[in-house]
Structure 1
């Protein structure tokens, strides 16, 4: 999906009972830096309190989101910023997951890392055939955050979730559908298909649908909060490993990393 440029990192558009929330850093494939995460959290809270019934989360430009902004992360070696950023991510994910609306993630192009975690926090994930989907933290010796463990385990089961995380490989939209990572794949006129899905929901007794969502979310919320806390603690430890430093060096030098399990 592509819209005209804007200085906002997140664009919100209201149309009747539908709100579209678009990540808007197309020059960097909507990579998620601290400013974008905070703006997304703020705007999702606004949408949660609005009168809309359906929310569509999408990305501007060539992809949904390439994940956390590694270059931004490298520009700051201040570890004191790590915990506040992780806390923002946790609040963002819980806000998205428990939102009293029906949420559709409409993904296309690169959808990876933290970007994939956010997409999976929605109630329904619809993917364009251009989607390239990966939980690729392992490439720089990190673990999924943003509830990635929780959402993958719920969608595909524990064993498959481990394999997806450990391999970190890129999946096509059809491969992700077969694995149970996404709910639908669209081959033609993706924006139209997303719109039709939202409008079909609006023809249903949506208050009853939201009530079911809230009951299920409430039952699972403590598990999500526990996973987010474990991810925060685990990520902090992984950032101090020699393998992570090697993964970052290899990323910058555009070479294959040589990990030593340290």
Structure 2
């Protein structure tokens, strides 16, 4: 994507600056970029730093390796049994989503491989989503007896309407990019390589009156701010309750054992 000017690397996130663009790459390829607490915190810090950089107008969000992001890290879910730790984790997720959604930049998400659960919620917080045809897209919290978090309810309801959002959440279906596009969940299926499709969109935006575009984003974002913050709080409270259910424990166990869960409604 042109000649890069600088790159900053942490343990799980790589940020590359090129002219008016910052590319944020999730960097846990060995875990399909599943988001653990260090990655979540490093993402927040990276996005906050970009937010304050007035030279950056467009942010590209990508994943390294075979997937964009398979969602929240299962090991993290198993280890965060303490209520204080859980609240801190959920607050970090909320900070990540709000920083990304409200940042005064235009944002593009490039999806390849899996974009599932929290990974999909994060993608939906961006302004424009491009996916490879064979990518797998799912809001699949239901498979482990949880509700969407990371603003999933907010973003799905805004894009799909209440009825279709509930259907998608309850079904937890894994979709290919074309189906997600037809549902208006994503904006574009890459007809060339993902990087080429991102480059085409980026070039168009960089040759547009981008300050006016950002101002429109800020106006609509401020209108939606109270609702998103309310949704995040409701998700946090609901997730705490769902984590105590037998169905969640069964869902996690079935996932680890790679079998179909036997849910009982408890």
With the shorter chain as reference, the TM-score category is: over 0.9
How big is the shift at 1:67? 0.1
**Of 58, 61, 76, which residue of structure 1 is paired with 2:62?**
58
- Aligned CA RMSD, in angstroms, stands at 1.0
Aligned positions of 1:76-95 closer than 5 A: 76-95=80-99
Do residues 96 (structure 1) and 100 (structure 2) align? Answer: yes
- Residue aligning to 1:28: 31
How big is the shift at 1:78? 2.7
How big is the shift at 1:7? 6.0
How big is the shift at 1:113? 0.2
The list of structure 1 runs, each at least 4 consecutive aligned residues, that deviate by more than 3 angstroms after superposition, is: none
Do residues 73 (structure 1) and 77 (structure 2) align? Answer: yes
**Of 13, 37, 40, which residue of structure 2 is paired with 1:37?**
40
How big is the shift at 1:77? 3.1
- Residue aligning to 1:253: 257
Query: 2-side partners of 1:261 and 1:72: how far apart?
Result: 24
- Residue aligning to 1:3: none
The worse-fitting range, judged by mean Cα deviation, of 76-85 and 93-102 is: 76-85
Do residues 106 (structure 1) and 110 (structure 2) align? Answer: yes
> Where does the alignment leave 5 or more consecutive residues of structure 2 unmatched?
1-8
Aligned positions of 1:1-262 closer than 5 A: 8-50=11-53, 51-262=55-266
Give TM-score scaled by structure 2 length. 0.95
Query: 2-side partners of 1:35 and 1:181: how far apart?
Result: 28
> Where does the alignment leave 5 or more consecutive residues of structure 1 unmatched?
1-5
SS at match of 2:23: strand
Query: 2-side partners of 1:260 and 1:254: how far apart?
Result: 18
SS at match of 1:55: strand
Query: 1-side partners of 2:244 and 2:79: how far apart?
Result: 16
How big is the shift at 1:224? 0.2
SS at match of 1:208: helix
SS at match of 2:15: strand
Query: 1-side partners of 2:187 and 2:80: how far apart?
Result: 37
Q: What per-residue deviation string (whole Å, max 9, x for no partner) do you get for residues 52-100 of structure 1?
A: 1000011001110000000232134333210000000111110000000
SS at match of 2:148: coil
